[in-house]
Amino acid sequence: MTGKPQYDESAALEAAMRVFWRHGYAAASINDLTAATGLSRSSIYQRFQDKDNLFRETLAHYTERVLRRMNAVQAASGRARVEAILRDFLPGPAAAARPDGCMLARSCAEKAILPAPSQDAVMAAVGRQRALLAQIIDQAAADGELPNSMDRDALAWYYLGVLHSLMNLPQAGATTATLAAVVDFAMAAWPAGAGPRAA
């Protein structure tokens, strides 16, 4: 015996992630998780100890995926990159194969009922997403794309809110065309700066 799991751990984690993503923490039962992963209860408890640990691992898995997707989007300016990130998350054909909404936003909505370690994990995950936007905005300010008086922290929160809305409002009936217009409005709110700084 090697002590290594006798199953595809990454596939099991992906399947469990989709259960939490679709149903949320509270409604995701161990029966749901065993059915989705193909693992027995004993295998789940042996590897993850409990539902809370499994949730945190799936949350980390989801967060890394989202951050990779955001980091992969590049553009010639900070404003253009923020816009490109938002448009990259507009619902498209691939969205039909994924659970609805955003796992991070769903987890934030459930934060009050999560065990303390999972509350911390959710806050840290969303914080990393906001920090990525803040880094883009800080660089844009350094490049003269934003006025010096701009509250850059508030702007990062604003575009994080827009991003989460783009992923969650389709559940309320918003179409891709409507959400594309939302991005137009959001980018119109980008404050005019002094222009690129001289090298």
What pLDDT, in 10s, does the model give residues 93-141? 876 678 999 999 999 999 999 999 999 999 999 999 999 999 999 999 9
Domain count, the chain: 1
Residue 135 located in a structural domain: yes
pTM of the model: 0.90
Rounded to the nearest 10 degrees, what angle do helices 30-37 and 9-27 cross at? 150
Domain that holds residue 177: 55-188
User: CA–CA separation, 109 vs 128, rounded Å?
Assistant: 17
Residue 147, in any domain of the structure: yes
Do 62 and 103 form a contact (C-beta atoms < 8 A)?
Answer: yes
Tell me if 94 is assigned to some domain: yes
Q: Is 119 part of a structural domain of the chain?
A: yes
Give the C-alpha separation, 27 to 20, whole Å. Answer: 8
> Is residue 179 situated within a structural domain?
yes
Amino acid 192: pLDDT: 86
17 in a domain, yes or no? no
Closest by Cα among 100, 97, 29, 104 to 62: 104
Q: Mean pLDDT over residues 153-161, rounded?
A: 98
Evaluate whether residue 31 is within a structural domain: no
Asked if residue 108 is part of any domain, the answer here is yes
CATH number, domain of 164, equals 1.10.357.10
Q: How confident is the model at residue 155 (pLDDT cuts 50, 70, 90)?
A: very high
